[in-house]
Amino acid sequence: MAMEAASTGKKERRSGSLQRTDVRAGWGLLTPAGIVILAVTIFPILYSLFMSFNNIQLTTNGFQFTFTGLQNYKDVYSAPLFWHSVGFTIYYSVITVAVELFLGLLIALAIQNVERLKSLSIVVMLIPWALITVISAQMWGYIYNGVYGVLNAILQGLHIIHTQVNWLGQPFTAVVSLMIADIWKTTPFVVIILLSGLQMIPKDYYEAALIDGANAWQSFWNVTFPQLRGSIALAGLFRILQAFGIFDLPFVLTQGGPGTTTTSLAMLGEETLFTNLHFGLGAAVAISTVILILGACLIFLSAFRGMVGEEAQ
Amino acid sequence: MKTRTKNWAAIVTIASTSTALLAGCGQTQSANTSNGSASIAPKQNTASTNVVAPTHLVNYSNASGSVVWAESFTTGPVAKQLVSAFEKKYPKIKVTMQVQPSSTDTNRADLTATISGGSATPDVYMGDVIWPAQFAHAQLAAPLSDYLPKSFWNRFSNGLVQGATYNGKVYAAPLFADTAFLYYRKDLLQKYHLPVPTTWEQVKSEAATIVKKGGAKYGFVWQGADYEGLTCDFDEYLADAGGSVLTNGKASLNTPAANKALGFMRSLITSGVTPKTVDTFQEPQSENVFTQGQAVFLRNWSYAWSDSQNPASSKVVGKVGVTALPTFAGHGSSGYSTVGGWDLYLNPHTKNLAAALQFIDWMTSPQAQEILAANSEMPTIKAVANSPSLKKYSPVFALLPKVKFVSRPSQTPQYPSVSKAIYDNVNEALAGSVSVGTALKNANSQINSAQSGSGSGGL
């Protein structure tokens, strides 16, 4: 009896005070991570925002700021090159992400159904994703090279083309070549996310579908796809975020050319900041990119809202 | 509603990461900008420069302490050789080397971040010859002419000091120079009984003949990619045609001369003398085609000579000749070559001014310049550059008296944007996606808006 009372009393005290301790411990545990995020993410963004409203002069005493309001944004938005970069970044992102999601889904379904050597096929598939982009881009540079490139050699050997194609030196082929290199590299990332989604679908669903007489297409459309929508949304969201920051592939393969054809927003921002040393304009480009990414994610999420909501529950 | 808030939070967090990524881009670039990009005084400026008198003359004859030197030699032990020779002569000064990224643009980003952040080191750094105006304007370089006697600047070859001057003050000491030459296959010219060309028209017709007769796969290779090197190539044709990028500070690419220059470059491609992939070629790609024995002519910097004579990477050892760049018919005996090279700059935050100045002084002395010449770098001081013994180091040095120099319009702090306006549009015309006239018109207006120094010209 006495013990019981004691234990109940303890329990009651627990529910009150320990909750507060939990909260305190929680904040304590969150603080280090919070400080890191504050230092490397929130502070740079706020600082960029501040920079974008100023004309910035480098002096021996560091930056000298002159508040100019929206002038940097006006200047950026009146530059045709900025709008060209926005256009390129958007259509590049939309096409590569769409193709990657489609191909990624096919590959994930294929690997899911492989009986033997499953882990080996996952490892092989992951190689493009694991390679550092700058290095794999150099490799693609050898493939696409118009004079001693592998691709021309193969196509000429097969008599598909008769003269060498200047893959990276023509606007249309340059964009397509970049897209192919991008899709090759990042589809494995989509596959991994979709594969984990596939593995979470309970087997009974398929058994039930089978009993109901569903064929392969019906069971995919009515069981797999609805169950996978959350994973697709997740993979798509991550890919959009990355695709909008596209930098390394065009930087190595085309330097943004021919002309300015493949100049992405990230390249434009980098060049404005670090080559031209126009920090205010560069910050305005960076902040505009963030706003664009936010917009793209909102559009994508609202298109997938139902699915994500479902998954969350 | 809750989901909505969560979504927002997620988006904000992820979006912030992407800004951080964007901001971090400057550090992650790699690529291989060759050191063949740089420049000096406009071709019309041959007179000696008027340097303003020093304001804080420093006596460094007894300097001691330590100096950090940021060096960006891409190859070889030359930096080490220089430092040990210096320390032997000035035992009271210790020099520490800081190796910089080999990509010129990454190097600039790194130095900008370090010095604008107030760091006292590196005390002395190597920088491209097209940087003085931009670095002076941003106060990333100290005005050397404030500390060094006026007589100091007499040692340099004509035009070099002018190239390092901004608003009357000199911000850099020329360390070594570089310029372009025409490399040719002497065996092929001999085989087909053709003379060494002295005009661009000749280069084109001889190359076409040899390719037609099966002597080589390609006629003439050069640098046509979308980067600084294309500005160098274009400026040479432009100067040969009698034009210049700027006239009285305004863009002047809407001229017949500019039309002739770019029209000729494009015609090299359309006539098949130059492979159409040249619009993706930087120095290594064009050099590779030549050293693999696939091209008759190559336009490249002085280092291509030793590369072409290296049996490990070249199939044309002993078959290569080199001459000054040609010009257009009726425009003289030889053409203009872009001036490149590297200078020594002084960090305005240095804590050891006297020792740093002593180091700069010695690096531009005959002893150091001889070491550079022995490593195939072109000396910048008259005493060594004009010495007849120079040609023993490289046959390209023997051609120097024939070379006419042209500089890129780098005397404005907005030079990177000006140059981009040139190479973006020229590259587009080479790719054939716009006409020569449209490309020049666009370049012209972009240069003018870049030069205004404010507004969207800075993009």
CA torsion B85-B86-B90-B93 (nearest 10°) is -130
The mean pLDDT value for B80-106 works out to 93
The answer to whether A44 touches B20, Cβ cutoff 8 Å, is yes
Interchain contact A292–B (C-beta under 8 A): no
| Residue of A88, A27, A21, A115 whose CA lies nearest to A257 | A88
- Alpha-carbon span B131 to B80, nearest angstrom: 24
pLDDT in tens, B256-291: 999 999 999 999 999 999 999 999 999 989 999 999
Residues B296, B442 within the same domain: yes
Same domain, B288 and B323: yes
Distance from the Cα of B36 to chain A's closest Cα (Å) equals 17
Please tell me whether residues B101 and B197 are part of one structural domain.
Answer: no
With contact defined as beta carbons under 8 Å apart, do B277 and A165 qualify?
Answer: no
Mean pLDDT of B429-436: 95
Q: Is residue B441 part of a domain?
A: yes
* pLDDT tops 70 at residue B114: yes
CA angle B349-B351-B353, nearest 5°? Answer: 95
**Contact: B280, A169; criterion CB under 8 Å:** yes
Chain B residues with beta carbon closer than 8 angstroms to that of A251? 29, 31
Say whether both A39 and A132 belong to one domain.
no
Query: What is the reported pLDDT for A114?
Result: 82
* Residue B143 pLDDT > 50: yes
Residue B30 placed within a domain: no
Which region among A7-11, A89-93, B192-196, B350-354 has the lowest average model confidence (pLDDT)? A7-11
Which of A169, A251, A308 is the closest to B277 by Cβ? A169
Mean pLDDT of B305-318: 91
In a domain, B193, yes or no: yes
* B369 shares a domain with B263: no
Residue B420 lies in a domain: yes
Whether residue A38 is found in the same domain as residue A110: no
> Which is more confident, B447 or A61?
B447
DSSP A81-133: HHHHHHHHHHHHHHHHHHHHHHHHHHHHHHHHT--SSHHHHHHHHHHHHHS-H
The pLDDT tens digits for B167-216 are 999 999 999 999 999 999 999 999 999 999 999 999 999 999 999 999 99
A7 and A105 part of one domain = no
Mark yes or no for CB contact B30/A134 under 8 Å: yes
Say yes or no for a CB contact (<8 Å) between B11 and A82. Answer: no
Does residue B31 lie in a domain region? no
Same domain flag for B215 and B264? yes
For residue A3, pLDDT over 60 is answered with no
Residue B22 confidence (pLDDT) above 50: no
Confidence at A274, pLDDT banded by 50, 70, 90: confident
pLDDT value of position B157: 86
Residues A41 and A118 in one domain: no
Are residue A125 and residue A182 in the same domain, yes or no? yes
Domain of B263? 179-336+412-458
Considering only CA atoms, which of B395, B388, B386, B390 is closest in space to residue B372? B390
Looking at residues B397-419, what average pLDDT do you find?
89
Restricting to A residues 56-115, those with a Cβ less than 8 Å away from any Cβ of B are 57-63, 75-76, 78-79, 81-82
Place of tokens 């508040």: A67
Q: What is the DSSP letter of B148?
A: S
Q: Which residues of A are less than 8 Å from B139 in CB distance?
A: 58-60
H or E element at residue B170: strand B169-170
For residues A104 and A16, state if they share a domain: no
Contact B22 A266 (CB under 8 A): yes
Q: Looking at the partner chain, which of B6, B109, B431 has a beta carbon nearest the beta carbon of A258?
A: B431
Asked if residue A18 has pLDDT above 90, the reply is: no
A173 lies within 8 A of chain B by CB = no
Nearest chain B residue (CA) to A301:
B7
- What pairing do the DSSP bridges indicate for beta strands B124-128 and B65-71? parallel
pLDDT bin (cut points 50, 70, 90) of residue B12 is very low
Phi-psi region of B276 (alpha: psi -120 to 50; beta: other; left: phi over 0): alpha
Nearest-neighbour CA in chain A from B170: distance (Å): 17
Range of the domain at A23: 2-52
Give the residue from A148, A265, A277 with the most B CB atoms within 10 Å of its CB, the best one to mutate.
A277
Q: Indicate whether A99 and A140 sit together in one domain.
A: yes
DSSP letters spanning B269-323: HHTTSS-GGGGG--HHHHHHHHHTT-EEEEEEETTHHHHHT-TTT-S-TT-EEEE
Percent of chain B past pLDDT 70, that is, above it, reads 87
Residues A173 and A256 both lie in one domain: yes
Residue range A76-88: mean pLDDT, rounded:
94
Average pLDDT, chain A: 88
- Among B383, B406, B429, the domain boundary falls at B406
A44 in contact with B, Cβ within 8 Å? yes
For range A194-200, the mean pLDDT: 92
Kindly report the nearest CA distance between residue A160 and chain B, in angstroms: 19
> Which amino acid is located at B333 in the chain?
S
Closest CA to B360 of B368, B350, B372: B368
Q: Taking 60 as the threshold, does the pLDDT of residue B1 lie above it?
A: no
Nearest CA-CA distance, residue B94 and chain A, Å:
26
Domain-embedded: residue A182: yes
Contact residues, A window 174-233, toward B, CB-based 8 Å cutoff:
none
CB atoms within 10 A of CB B233: 24
**Contacts with A37 from chain B: Cβ below 8 Å:** 13
For the cut 50, the answer to whether the pLDDT of residue B373 exceeds it is yes
- Distance from chain centroid for Cα B97: 23
* Mean predicted confidence (pLDDT) in B74-83: 84
User: How high is the pLDDT of residue B39?
Assistant: 31
In the block, residue with structure tokens 């000199």: B170
Say if A62 falls within a structural domain.
Answer: no
B9 compared with A54, residue with greater pLDDT:
A54
Nearest to A168 among B280, B455, B459 (CB): B280
Q: Is the pLDDT of residue B112 over 60?
A: yes
Amino acid A2: pLDDT: 45
**Confidence band of B315 (pLDDT split at 50, 70, 90):** very high
Contact call for B17 and A244, based on CB within 8 A = no
- Signed CA dihedral, A163, A167, A173, A177: sign only: positive
CATH of residue B95: 3.40.190.10
**Residue at B130 is within a domain:** yes
Same domain, yes or no: A25 and A148: no
pLDDT of residue B8: 45
B269 and B198 inside one domain? yes
Please state the φ and ψ torsions of residue B220, each to the nearest 5 degrees: -140, 125
B184 and B295 belong to one structural domain: yes
Total of domains in chain B:
2
Please indicate, yes or no, whether residues B282 and B372 belong to a single structural domain of this protein: no
Bridge-based pairing of strands B246-247 and B250-251 is antiparallel
Q: Do B424 and A247 touch (CB under 8 A)?
A: no
Helix (H) or strand (E) holding A168: none
Q: Which residue of A has its CA nearest to B457?
A: A79
Determine the Cα angle at B322 with ends B317 and B324, to 5°: 165
Considering only A77-86, A213-222, B427-436, which range has the smallest mean pLDDT? A213-222
Give the mutation candidate from B34, B114, B221, B456 for the A interface (greatest A CB count, under 10 A). B456
Same domain, B400 and B419: no
| Tens-place pLDDT, residues B119-132 | 999 999 999 999 99
Cα distance between residue B289 and residue B278, in whole Å: 11
- The pLDDT assigned to B457 comes to 65
A163-183 per-position pLDDT tens digit: 889 999 999 999 999 999 999
For B106, the closest chain A residue by CA position comes to: A274
Q: Are residues B139 and B167 in the same domain?
A: yes
Residue B28 lies in a domain: no
Instruction: Identify whether residues A35 and A103 lie together within a single domain.
Output: no
Res B42: pLDDT: 40
Q: A187: domain CATH number?
A: 1.10.3720.10
Contacts of A55 in chain B (CB under 8 A): 454
Q: What percent of chain A has pLDDT over 70?
A: 92
Q: Is the pLDDT of residue A10 over 80?
A: no
The answer to whether the Cβ–Cβ distance between A274 and B116 falls below 8 Å is no
Average pLDDT, chain B: 87
pLDDT at residue A14 greater than cutoff 70: no
For residue B402, name the pLDDT band (cuts at 50, 70, 90): confident
Residue range B133-137: mean pLDDT, rounded: 94
- Tell me the nearest-neighbour CA distance from A256 into chain B, angstroms: 7
Distance CA A137, CA A268 (A): 19
Q: Average pLDDT in the A124-135 region?
A: 92
Is any Cβ of chain A less than 8 angstroms from the Cβ of B151? no
Last residue of a domain, one of B406, B421, B446: B406
Per-residue confidence band for A11, with pLDDT thresholds at 50, 70 and 90: very low
Which of A244, A268, A271 comes nearest B18 by C-beta? A244
Contacts A268 to B, Cβ<8 Å = 459
Asked if residue B245 and residue B389 are part of one domain, the reply reads: no
Question: What CA–CA distance (Å, rounded) separates B420 from A60?
Answer: 27
B259 touches chain A (CB under 8 A): no
Average pLDDT over residues B417-429: 95
Please check whether residue A302 lies inside any domain of the structure. Answer: yes
Please indicate, yes or no, whether residues B81 and B221 belong to a single structural domain of this protein.
no
Residue B271 lies in a domain: yes
Q: Token pair of B232, please?
A: 């160098």
The band of A257, judged by pLDDT with boundaries at 50, 70 and 90, is: confident
> What single-letter amino acid sits at A199?
Q
Query: Cα A245 from chain centroid?
Result: 8
3-state class of B95 per DSSP? strand
Please tell me whether residues A307 and A234 are part of one structural domain.
yes
Residue identified by tokens 């690997």 is A111
Domains held by chain A: number: 2
Contact A280, A51 (CB under 8 A): yes
Tell me the chain A residues in contact with residue B454 when contact means C-beta distances shorter than 8 Å: 55, 75
Task: Count CB pairs under 8 A between chains A and B.
Answer: 213
pLDDT digits (tens, 9 = 90+) for B329-371: 999 888 999 999 999 999 999 999 999 999 999 999 999 999 9
Lowest mean pLDDT among B11-25, B181-195, B266-280, B382-396: B11-25
